[in-house]
Structure 1
Amino acid sequence: MAIASVRPPAVAGQFYPGDPLVLSAQLSELLTTAVPLENVPPPKAVIVPHAGYIYSGPIAATAYAVLAPLRDVVRKVVMLGPTHRVAVDGFSLPATQAFATPLGEVPLARADWLALQARADVSVDDRPHAFEHCLEVQLPFLQTVLGRFELVPVLVGRANAEAVADLIESVWGGPETLILISSDLSHYLSYEQARHCDRATIEQVIRLQVGLNHEQACGATPINGLLRVAQRHGLEPHLLDLRNSGDTAGDRGRVVGYASVAFCESPAHAAAPRH
């Protein structure tokens, strides 16, 4: 059976508009009205939520707004997110060589795609990616903010923080490479419970304290890996936004938590000798 070379959008018209003009208008509005809690330099890595745009879009937009100065710098985005539909041991890369959205196609970074396959814990399989939303919903934002770039889409299954950190290190690159972790926070707590739980989770992230569990964040595994790498590279986390679906478009009986966090190189680390 022939393998399709392009992964078509799976959740366009559900998580975000399927019409490109409507989608572009919504993205423009979200990015224009985004006001991050902190003014930060352009980040090396971000944590961004992945729900439907009416729920998490305003929170995600605060992360993408701070990426705007990198439009002519970033040429590769390494995306890691949790599998919601298909169980995976280790990590999954797609066999397809591009991801499509209503705004066009994003090619995979083929050299990285080939190099990652040398890892024993990486499989190449379109099935986990076919209907997965956590990476797809980030793409229209990235297409709007960055323009042209290549993609390294990694779904994270049963893996430990050190394995995730090692994979991230292998594709770390320089300023041309952005690391993006796709994750929501708590699920289906009451509004006040979620506010308390999510604040504690973010305080742990800000301390670069590895050990998040999947009740705190569905993307806990890739986040833990990023935290470990951030420690090594002297990155400083900055909270950009922390809200939940009760603040945006949902009722407050059972909510889902969302945060955007930027990881930036500290001035002290940037000035330190590299040899």
Structure 2
Amino acid sequence: MKHASRYVMASSSDSPRVRRPAVAGMFYRDDAARLRREVRGFIDAGRTSNLVPKAIIVPHAGYVYSGQVAGSGYRALANLETRVRRVFLLGPAHRVYTRGVAAPAHQSFSSPLGEMPIDRERITELCERFDFVTISDASHAEEHSLEVHLPFLQTALGDFLLVPLVVGEVHPGRLRELIDHVLDNPGDLLVVSSDLSHYHGYDEARLIDAQTVELMENLEWQEMRPERACGFVPVSALLLSAAERGWRVSAVDVRNSGDTAGPRDRVVGYASLVVHEPVAEFDPETRKRLLGVARDSIEHGFSDLALAIDPTAWPRACGRHTATFVTLESSGVLRGCIGSLAAEEPLVASVANNAARAAFNDPRFPPLTRREFDEIDICISVLSPPVPMRFDSQEALLEQLRPGEDGLILSWGRHRGTFLPSVWRLTDSPGRFLAHLKRKAGLSEDFWSDDIRIERYTTESFGE
């Protein structure tokens, strides 16, 4: 929906053409040559990944505190396959109360490394399209959450058009509409600025920030709070948009000021995260280890023993709370399948527990025997966070289904059922897939209600 032009204010004589730095010499160096070397060093020393960013979340403290962590986020931009033409930079308001989202009237922003032109045309478009976007130089005048990223962007990207937006009081669901608009345009990069917890002791902060990062990686946008991240509104909106697109969020660096330059009695947390399309998270060696855990857990089950698991001894992806399914087959025939749709325990523990349940507690089969043990094949499916689907009819739902890719969760009243993506090998018809899922949930195949809830997820599956 477009809105009246009163929301658009072109630059004028009472608005300086250039927004000058407000925190140079305080948050970062004001000497261009030294600043360029320092930022280049942060990026080059950043932690590496093979993730191709759709967006990044990066911290905004003084460089002595968060520069190293931010460098890891900006290093990921080297993986981009196309040139970035425009950067949408979103950060929380710290200095001036801001209602909605504030864009500047300036023609450019400057840093000690030079000027960056503002994309006035895109700002005008945003003001006309979204009624919560207004023009306010005051919101930008002393705001550091955007400014500290300018030298990083100039160093990592070179020339680009800038769309700087200070985020104030706005619901994440509404802001997500703007973020969706940005993410739909190739050549645009979204950068969200946020620190994590503030002024806890070192050990407490590490625990709080680890929980926050896990929420972000699991796309649990509803659980974000200002005490977890000062930029919780743009972060939440980005997580919501990523969830609906089936994207993932992965942390590439998590530290706090006690790790970098500050005392440990009152620290501030920082993280760099990459928003990206799904990729295989588990290398061949990790997959082999997880399959070994599943088999060892079943072996222990024959003696009524639980396999001891230490998630801290595993790669980070295996320690995150993640939903899994474990499937057992004998000569290609199903012999047990148990899993969880909620991410309630570390992935490696979920694999161990579901393997034992599939072997001994699947109500469709008798408990596995030792004689069968050596004959079974084990398959592990790691589920992405489920995303609610939006539709107004069964036909609209069927048009959205992706055969071979989507797992579905169907809920209606007390009825609930799920099919993993692997079930598509039994039918390539979305209509038959949905009909069989209804039957599994205890409904008739032709049942339909406007109150039916469908969630979609994907899996990374691997077996022996």
Q: What's the TM-score bracket when you normalise by the shorter of the two chains?
A: over 0.9
Matched, 1:259 2:248: no
Matched, 1:175 2:193: no
The residue aligned with 1:78 is 88
2:124 to 114, 123, 146: 114
Matched, 1:237 2:249: yes
Give CA-to-partner distance per residue, 1:84-143, whole Å, 9 cap, x none.
000011110011121100111111122211111112211101001000000111110110
1:123 to 134, 152, 170: 134
Rounded to whole Å, the distance in 2 between the matches of 1:121 and 1:28 is 36
Write the mapping of 1:1-275 to structure 2, written as runs, cut at 5 A.
2-36=14-48, 39-70=49-80, 73-118=83-128, 119-211=130-222, 212-266=224-278
Judged with a 3 Å threshold, the aligned counterparts in structure 2 of structure 1 residues 71 and 140 are, in CA distance, closer, same or farther, namely farther
1:242, distance to aligned residue in structure 2 (A):
0.5
1:33, distance to aligned residue in structure 2 (A):
1.4
1:259, distance to aligned residue in structure 2 (A):
0.3
Rounded to whole Å, the distance in 2 between the matches of 1:9 and 1:235 is 35
Asked if structure 2 preserves the Cα contact closer than 8 Å seen for 1:70 and 1:146, the reply is: no
Asked if structure 2 preserves the Cα contact closer than 8 Å seen for 1:156 and 1:222, the reply is: yes
Asked if structure 2 preserves the Cα contact closer than 8 Å seen for 1:88 and 1:128, the reply is: yes
Q: After TM superposition, which residue ranges in structure 1, 4 or more long, deviate above 6 angstroms?
A: none
Asked if structure 1 preserves the Cα contact closer than 8 Å seen for 2:51 and 2:274, the reply is: no
2:159 counterpart letter in structure 1: R
1:41 counterpart letter in structure 2: L
Rounded to whole Å, the distance in 1 between the matches of 2:60 and 2:178 is 22
Asked if structure 2 preserves the Cα contact closer than 8 Å seen for 1:112 and 1:171, the reply is: no
Rounded to whole Å, the distance in 1 between the matches of 2:79 and 2:235 is 24
Unmatched tracts of structure 2, length 5 or more: 1-12, 281-401, 404-464
1:98 counterpart letter in structure 2: S
Asked if structure 1 preserves the Cα contact closer than 8 Å seen for 2:256 and 2:269, the reply is: yes
With the length of structure 1 as denominator, give the TM-score of the two structures: 0.94
Give CA-to-partner distance per residue, 1:38-68, whole Å, 9 cap, x none.
x233201010000000000000000111102
Aligned residues: 269
With the length of structure 2 as denominator, give the TM-score of the two structures: 0.56
1:267, distance to aligned residue in structure 2 (A):
5.2
Task: Identify the range of structure 1 (63-72 vs 140-149) with the bigger mean alpha-carbon deviation.
Answer: 63-72
What secondary structure, in the 3-state scheme, does the structure 1 residue paired with 2:110 have? strand
Unmatched tracts of structure 1, length 5 or more: none
Asked if structure 2 preserves the Cα contact closer than 8 Å seen for 1:71 and 1:145, the reply is: no
Structure of higher RCO (CA pairs closer than 8 Å, 6+ residues apart): 1
Task: Identify the range of structure 1 (117-126 vs 135-144) with the bigger mean alpha-carbon deviation.
Answer: 117-126
1:71, distance to aligned residue in structure 2 (A):
8.3
Asked if structure 1 preserves the Cα contact closer than 8 Å seen for 2:54 and 2:183, the reply is: no
2:66 counterpart letter in structure 1: S
Rounded to whole Å, the distance in 2 between the matches of 1:70 and 1:108 is 22
Rounded to whole Å, the distance in 2 between the matches of 1:205 and 1:79 is 19
The residue aligned with 2:311 is none
Judged with a 3 Å threshold, the aligned counterparts in structure 2 of structure 1 residues 59 and 267 are, in CA distance, closer, same or farther, namely closer
